[in-house]
Structure 1
Amino acid sequence: MGLLMADKTGDLSEVEHFSMAVAGAEYNVALGLARLGVPVTYVTKLGDDSIGHRIEKGLVREGIDTTGITWSAGLSTGLMFKARNMAGDPEIDYYRRGSAASSMRPEDIPQLEWDRFGFLHVTGITPALGPQTLQMCHALIDQARDHGLVVTFDPNLRPQLWSDCATMIAEVNRLALRADVVLPGLSEGKELTGADDVRGVADWYLGRGVRAVALKAGRKGAVLAEKGSVRELEGFPLERFIDTVGAGDGFAVGVISGMRDGLSLAEAVSRGNAIGAIQVGSRGDNEGLPDRRRLEAFMARGTGPDPEGLHSEEE
């Protein structure tokens, strides 16, 4: 989506000047991976308008393959407005209903060279845009599964985009249970499973075939659950704290890139904690996502966990 960020603090209804950027959970993950040198192909549908072409140009500048983009001549690219906060979660208004992306359907999936890819990342936002986008996400997972890719899934719950919470929970879990690695926030995990604690959330997914669950716990870090073990991975000290938008996407960047680099899941989740901590120091949704040099320097001076010393709960 296009992103209009308020230039001054205050209620969105009173803001007079905005700065233009680009946002979106999948876009943020694509950008973060590309900055770490990971080849990325981005699948989306854009309006043939100034915002859509701005997004395409931004992807090209970051070295992201745009052959997965399709275009709509009649529908506009989505847009969001974000208030400026000095700390915490900012006020956000979305204008995405009826957008080009909301019209995506299985037939819009481009002819991808699947043998080039190792991972497919999906969030719960695109399938929330309508029945067609939900079908498209399942079709993408079908193709990824057929070609042996690792599927990662971030629920990214957006209740305002679903008809009701029961439908949201059912459909998001249908997608999550098709993934290898699920990346919920702790509160999301509780809402999706009805569990009261970390172990309950983890057991719900692991017992239904998910390989691993990495639950984000904000400043505390994350909890990694695999069959037979639950590990707490502490967070990294924040350089500064501006807002939380994009932190979860940064976490996904760390986990995916870490797995691709051959790290253990615990080491990959630790990298996710680090990138999330870096991103909350940025005003925009993705401006803080680091390159490898910055990431390595940050992790070297942080307090990241020693994978050999992690607490493990054996079944």
Structure 2
Amino acid sequence: MAGKLLSIGECMVELMQAEGDLLRKSFAGDSFNTAYYARMFLPPDWSVDYFSAVGTDTVSEEMLDFIAKTGVGTDYIRRIENRSPGLYMIHLKDGERSFSYWRSQSAAKLLADDAGHLRSAVEASDVIIFSGITLAILAPSSVETLLSELRRAKAVGKLVVFDPNIRPRLWDDKTYMRTTISAGARASSMVMPSFDDETTHFGDTDIAATIGRYRELGVENIIVKDGAKGVTLRFGEGPDAFIASVPVDTIIDTTSAGDSFNGAFLARYVQDGNGKAAAAFAARIAAAVIGHHGALVPVENLNS
């Protein structure tokens, strides 16, 4: 069955350490990474589009060309004068990453400012995914514009997917952060949190507490990612299901582990609705991704 997936958020210029003192430039960002992996594993009769905003500068043109070459649609990406993409640098130590960001003039901060454009994109889509980073970069009024459209989409039966992906450095106020993350969950029919984020920022003592809190927010389907410990699913009124992680001999770069899981999961789930099979497939893909450098790993490397 054909369909349309829409990912909403910010794609950035990525600088990664290369040999010597050189840096390698690419483009990535949690919501785009998810779109990339969803496109990789969805059948051809599904379209994947990216909803964001970029500038009119040379780097923005390069970003649009890059996105299009991955097979992800760019028709919903707005162009904004006097703005440019944000930039981040990855720092790696023993496979774990940290980041430095430069995004004060990021055009993506204005992605929800055109409410009519946003509504058209959401109404044209069957599956919509967004993240806590998407919410964190927006002004409060734009957050409400976005969540209002997503609540409408959920109400008419679209699959609205939210990865809280909590990055505290992006939020000026932690109370507002928790309130907004909870509002994002209420607008969603599926939530894909990482347990370490939930225990750190919401005080959840175990995965059952995370699942219970999101169920109280009205989320029907919950997939809790717990790194090497595996994934726990609660779908509807059914029992919890546990999917073990895939062992990895050598971790090269954990960048995009969760994003690749999200994209691969959705690519399989929308085809047959089997959450356990989708999670098992996504766990295999995420394990392959962290064995390579960078956020966007070519498909041939994942099959090797």
TM range (shorter): 0.7 to 0.9
**Which of 23, 27, 35 is the aligned partner of 1:30?**
35
Q: Give TM-score, length-normalised by structure 2.
A: 0.86
Number of paired residues?
Answer: 287
CA shift, 1:113, in A, is 5.9
Change beyond 3 A, Cα 1:24–1:140:
farther
Check if 1:105 corresponds to 2:112.
Answer: yes
Cα deviations by residue, 1:120-175 (Å, 9 ceiling, x for unpaired): 00101021113154234314414523553101100111111111211111101110
| C-alpha separation in 2, matches of 1:269 and 1:275 | 10
Contact 2:231/2:279, CA 8 A, preserved across alignment: yes
- The match for 2:293 is 283
| C-alpha separation in 2, matches of 1:160 and 1:260 | 33
Q: How does 1:213-292 map to 2 (within 5 A)?
A: 213-226=222-235, 227-238=237-248, 240-288=250-298, 290=299
Q: Give the aligned residue type for 2:209.
A: G
- The match for 1:303 is none
Cα deviations by residue, 1:228-275 (Å, 9 ceiling, x for unpaired): 412211011226411211000011112211221114111112222122
Alignment RMSD: 2.2
Check if 1:18 corresponds to 2:23.
Answer: yes
Q: How does 1:79-158 map to 2 (within 5 A)?
A: 79-85=87-93, 87-107=94-114, 109-110=117-118, 112=120, 116-131=124-139, 132-145=141-154, 147-158=156-167
- The match for 2:193 is 184
**Identity across matched positions, percent:** 24
Give the secondary-structure state (helix, strand or coil) at the position aligned to 1:215: strand
Give the secondary-structure state (helix, strand or coil) at the position aligned to 1:90: strand
| C-alpha separation in 2, matches of 1:178 and 1:202 | 16
131-140 vs 270-279, greater mean Cα deviation: 131-140
| C-alpha separation in 1, matches of 2:72 and 2:254 | 25
Q: Give the aligned residue type for 2:82.
A: G
CA shift, 1:114, in A, is 5.2
Contact 2:260/2:289, CA 8 A, preserved across alignment: yes
Contact 1:189/1:215, CA 8 A, preserved across alignment: no
| Structure 1 unaligned residues grouped into runs of 5+ | 10-15, 299-315
Cα deviations by residue, 1:93-128 (Å, 9 ceiling, x for unpaired): 011123111123341535636565320001010211
Contact 1:259/1:265, CA 8 A, preserved across alignment: yes
Contact 2:151/2:187, CA 8 A, preserved across alignment: no
**Which of 8, 17, 21 is the aligned partner of 1:6?**
17
Give the secondary-structure state (helix, strand or coil) at the position aligned to 1:42: strand
Contact 2:17/2:91, CA 8 A, preserved across alignment: yes
Q: Give the aligned residue type for 2:41.
A: L
| C-alpha separation in 2, matches of 1:240 and 1:268 | 24
Rg (Cα) greater in structure = 1
Change beyond 3 A, Cα 1:194–1:286:
same
- The match for 1:159 is 168
Q: Give the aligned residue type for 2:83.
A: L
Cα deviations by residue, 1:193-247 (Å, 9 ceiling, x for unpaired): 4321011111111133211211111122211123341221101122641121100
